[in-house]
Structure 1
Amino acid sequence: MLKHLRSLSGHQNPVYALANAAKAGFFFTGGNDKGVVEWSLEKMSFSKVLMPVKTSVYSLHQYENLLFVGQRSGELSIYDLSKQEVTANFQAHEKPVFDIVTIPAKQEFLTASEDGTVGVWSLTDLSLLYRIRVSADTVRAIAVSPDGLNTAFGCKDGAIRIYDLTDYSLLHILKQHTLPVTSVQYAPDGKYLISGGRDAQLNFWSLPDYQLQHTIPAHLFSIYGIAFHPSLPYFATISQDKSIKLWGSDDLKLYKILSIEKNTHGHTHSINKVIWSEDGKYLLTTGDDKLVIVWEWDL
């Protein structure tokens, strides 16, 4: 189902951020070596350094011709991919920016930070519209429901907080994880929300009522990413335990484990980010071993 295709080297330090590019066949990475890098899937190689940054890159998000770059310093940079230049750089938070999502229907974007707040910003003029005090500590991950009505925030205190995207009112506080929540994703079909945490558990919450339906002890250590295949009924999870796991999104069955400890190719250190290529042909993973590994979907 998934097989190792190529391990790409080039970063000198751990890699924390990964995002697809607007143009097919390219993607971006950022990490602890103070630069945002563009890669080519066609050539399976480094393409170019897009921009230097002052501190580590913790989050990347691409929307249309813009690449949002969240840094450890709390700064947010916006790189215009058509102009090939940084068009904005500002202090979005007092502490690191861990996640960024856009809400095109509202012409807004959200930033989550270690300072416990979420910034709601205008996509039109980049002005701050609201700053929501979500938690007393880090807000690590953001997910937006497929219908665009709700947003989920994964927090260091072990809670998932669900907000109404119409007026940003708090709807639910979900408490099941015993340690910080490190990843959240809505199923594309809108049937459930998945959360993963430092407790190595995957929790499945039904929609629209957000009732706990299933708990799976999915990994040995923190679950740092959950990514649904763009067209097939599968999702991948990654972990500090250096493994990648492929699950059925309908039956929640474990179909594949990719790990050097299972005698396959794999990462030698914590895996920090995972995405699928837009066409679903490749799974991309990256982490503390400084590598980007490209896995090919093999039916």
Structure 2
Amino acid sequence: MLKYLHTFSGHQNPVYALINSDKEGSFFTGGNDKGVVEWSLEKMVFLMVKMPVQSSVYALHNYNHRLFVGERSGAFSVYDFITQKISARINAHPKPIFSIKSIRYKNELLTSGEDGTVGIWSLIDFKELYRLQISYETVRCIAISPDEKEIAFGCKDNAIYIYNSIDYSLKQVLKDHTLPITSLAYHPSGQYLISGSRDAQLKIWTLPHYELSRNIPAHLFAIYDIAFHPQLPYFATGSQDKSIKLWDANNFKLYKILSLEKTGIGHSHSINKVIWSQDGTKLLSTGDDKKIMVWEMED
């Protein structure tokens, strides 16, 4: 299903953020280093430090020819791919930003922070439109449903808050996890939401009523990311237990475990982020060991 292909090295500190570029075949990383780095998947080489940053990068988001960079300082920067310059820097939160997402139909940007709030910003002029007090603890992750009608916020208080995107009203609170929520992802079909937590459990919530339909003891420690394949019925999870797992997106069967322990190749520390390449042929992973590892899909 997945086999090891390549390791990128060069970061001097843990890496927390990973995202595909506008250009097919390249991607960006950010972490405790003082810059956002661009890498080539085609040539398997370092390309450049795309932009400097003033503090650690915890979130990257690519939308409409712009790269949004969320920092530990609570600010986010906007890098314009067309002008190749930083076009804005906004002091959005008093504490670190952990997630950034966009809502296309509203032309709005969402940022979530350690202060328990979510800022909603205009993608035209980056002015703040609303401020939601989701929790009184960290809002760690954001997931937006495929139809963009609902938004899920995962929080340090162990709860998932479901909001309506039209008016940002609270729809539901899901409280079945026993430890902080660390990852969220909607199935591309919109049939369910998957949540991961420091309790090492994956929970499957069936829409539209978010009924808990499945609980999977998926990892040994916190599940830091969930990534659905862009075309095929698979999703990958990355964990603090240093392993990546590949799952069937329909019946939740475990297909593959990628780890030093299982295969002799893998990350030596916590895995913080996993993404699929734009064409779906590769899975990328990164974490506290400062490496970016590339795994290739096998026929």
Distance in 2 (CA, whole Å) between partners of 1:22 and 1:264 is: 33
Match of 2:230 in 1: 230
Say whether residues 1:149 and 2:149 are aligned partners.
Answer: yes
Instruction: Return the offset for 1:90.
Output: 1.6
- Partner SS, residue 76 of structure 2: strand
Match of 2:258 in 1: 258
Instruction: Return the offset for 1:82.
Output: 1.6
Match of 1:182 in 2: 182
- What does residue range 34-73 of structure 1 map to in structure 2 within 5 Å? 34-73=34-73
Distance in 2 (CA, whole Å) between partners of 1:68 and 1:45 is: 23
Distance in 1 (CA, whole Å) between partners of 2:76 and 2:263 is: 40
- Partner SS, residue 48 of structure 1: strand
Instruction: Return the offset for 1:65.
Output: 1.0
- What does residue range 247-286 of structure 1 map to in structure 2 within 5 Å? 247-286=247-286
Say whether residues 1:167 and 2:167 are aligned partners.
Answer: yes
Say whether residues 1:82 and 2:65 are aligned partners.
Answer: no
The structure 1 segments of at least 4 consecutive aligned residues displaced by more than 3 Å after TM superposition are none
- Partner SS, residue 30 of structure 1: strand
Give the aligned residue type for 2:98.
F
Say whether residues 1:94 and 2:94 are aligned partners.
Answer: yes
Superposed CA RMSD in Å reads 0.6
Give the aligned residue type for 1:192.
Y
- Partner SS, residue 189 of structure 1: coil
Match of 2:17 in 1: 17
Instruction: Return the offset for 1:224.
Output: 0.1
Instruction: Return the offset for 1:159.
Output: 0.2
Gap regions ≥5 residues in structure 2? none
- Per-residue CA deviations over 1:206-240 (Å, capped at 9, x if unaligned) read 00110100000000000000000000000000000
Distance in 2 (CA, whole Å) between partners of 1:92 and 1:66 is: 17
Instruction: Return the offset for 1:59.
Output: 0.3
Instruction: Return the offset for 1:264.
Output: 3.4
Distance in 2 (CA, whole Å) between partners of 1:109 and 1:53 is: 20
Match of 1:201 in 2: 201
Instruction: Return the offset for 1:290.
Output: 0.3
- 184-193 or 257-266: bigger deviation: 257-266
Distance in 2 (CA, whole Å) between partners of 1:134 and 1:292 is: 33
Q: Percent identity?
A: 64
- TM-score, length-scaled by structure 2: 0.99
Match of 2:123 in 1: 123
Distance in 2 (CA, whole Å) between partners of 1:200 and 1:135 is: 22
Gap regions ≥5 residues in structure 1? none
Distance in 1 (CA, whole Å) between partners of 2:264 and 2:163 is: 41
What number of residue pairs does the alignment pair up?
Answer: 299
Distance in 2 (CA, whole Å) between partners of 1:147 and 1:264 is: 41
Instruction: Return the offset for 1:106.
Output: 0.6
- Partner SS, residue 37 of structure 2: strand
Distance in 2 (CA, whole Å) between partners of 1:148 and 1:121 is: 16
Match of 2:243 in 1: 243
- Partner SS, residue 199 of structure 2: coil
Give the aligned residue type for 1:282.
K
Distance in 2 (CA, whole Å) between partners of 1:178 and 1:262 is: 28
Match of 1:31 in 2: 31
Distance in 1 (CA, whole Å) between partners of 2:274 and 2:112 is: 18
Instruction: Return the offset for 1:263.
Output: 2.7
Match of 1:7 in 2: 7
- TM-score, length-scaled by structure 1: 0.99
- Per-residue CA deviations over 1:175-199 (Å, capped at 9, x if unaligned) read 1110000000000011100000000
- Partner SS, residue 105 of structure 2: helix
- Per-residue CA deviations over 1:254-276 (Å, capped at 9, x if unaligned) read 00000001133100000000110
Distance in 1 (CA, whole Å) between partners of 2:215 and 2:145 is: 20
Instruction: Return the offset for 1:278.
Output: 1.0
Distance in 2 (CA, whole Å) between partners of 1:60 and 1:41 is: 18
Match of 2:289 in 1: 289
Distance in 2 (CA, whole Å) between partners of 1:92 and 1:34 is: 19
- 266-275 or 81-90: bigger deviation: 81-90
